[in-house]
Amino acid sequence: MSCTIHTSKTPDCRTCLIKSRAVISLGPDEMDLLERNCVEVDFRQGEMLLKQNSFCTHVIFIKSGLVKIHMEGNQRKDQILKITHAHTYLGLANLFGDTINNYSATAIEATSACFIHINIFKQFIEMNGDFALEIIKDISREELSYYKRFVNHAQKQIDGRLAETILFFVRDIYKESKFNLPLNRKDLAALICASRESVIREMKSFANSGIIRVSGKQIEVLDENRLEQISENG
Instruction: Give pLDDT tens digits for 186-228.
Output: 999 999 999 999 999 999 999 999 999 999 999 999 999 999 9
Range of the structural domain that residue 106 is part of: 7-153
Residue 157 Ramachandran class (φ > 0 left, ψ -120 to 50 alpha, else beta): beta
Task: Give the pLDDT mean for 140-151.
Answer: 87
Say what the pLDDT of residue 148 is. 85
Q: Pick the last residue of a domain from 153, 178, 195.
A: 153
9 pLDDT above the threshold of 70: no
Based on the fold, state whether residues 30 and 137 are members of the same structural domain.
yes
Based on the fold, state whether residues 139 and 94 are members of the same structural domain.
yes
Residue 124: inside a domain = yes
Beta carbons within 10 angstroms of residue 2's beta carbon: 11
Number of domains into which the chain is organized? 2
DSSP state of 188: H
Based on the fold, state whether residues 142 and 216 are members of the same structural domain.
no
Across the beta sheet with 111-117, what order do the strands follow? 7-9, 38-43, 111-117, 58-64, 88-90
The band of 10, judged by pLDDT with boundaries at 50, 70 and 90, is low
Of 143 and 9, the one with more pLDDT: 143
Residue 2: inside a domain = no
Say what the pLDDT of residue 5 is. 45
Task: Give the pLDDT mean for 175-182.
Answer: 95
Task: Give the pLDDT mean for 145-172.
Answer: 90
Residue 1: inside a domain = no
pLDDT in tens, 49-58: 999 999 999 9
Based on the fold, state whether residues 179 and 142 are members of the same structural domain.
no
The band of 149, judged by pLDDT with boundaries at 50, 70 and 90, is confident
CATH of the domain at 126: 2.60.120.10
Say what the pLDDT of residue 145 is. 87
State the pTM of this model: 0.88
Based on the fold, state whether residues 11 and 88 are members of the same structural domain.
yes
